[in-house]
Structure 1
Amino acid sequence: MTNEFYARAAERGAPSELEAQLRATIAKLKKTIENKNTELAQLRRDVPALVRVVNHLTLENQQLRDTLTNPRATVVPFPHRRPGPAH
């Protein structure tokens, strides 16, 4: 069967229009796959840095929450003065 296909293709001489379209589609899809693989590789390289940033922000957020729930005395109130004679 394969031999019959190649024999018919040889009789026609030039590739058919459909075959040319299919080859162009295949070439386009191969280029798309190559681009997607490049993009995927870049995303995989970016993941560790993004994980570090998320961890850092999570820690910072927790520290801020702890500060809000356990406020330290950073403001010291003035002692209460009794009203006295005006000078």
Structure 2
Amino acid sequence: MANNKRTYEAILVLDTHGSEDSADAMTSKVSEIIAEMGGEVKKVENLGLRDLARPQSKDLASAAYVKIDFESGPDGPAIIKEKLRLDKNFDRILIEKA
């Protein structure tokens, strides 16, 4: 079987306010999901706390941004989004080809 892994870049907007989980703990959760599906994390970059241009609520005016470069199969982004969709700590998830 041919190696059909692709390189992706994920930008995660994390709501760390009122949560026991830190940005590092949430990033490790995503790394575990990538490893479970046979992918490989290439680089994790914490972009820091930034103000949101359009906050969804008054409580969430700023959020932590994290960039993850990883390799996975073509169905990887859909699996990651599905697993994180209901987690309230992940405010926004953007995954695109690198």
Q: Same fold (TM over 0.5)?
A: no
Higher strand share: 2
Q: Which of the pair has the greater relative contact order for Cα pairs under 8 Å at 6+ separation? A: 2
Higher helix share: 1
TM-score between the two structures when normalised by the length of structure 1: 0.22
Computing the radius of gyration from Cα coordinates, the structure with the larger value is: 1
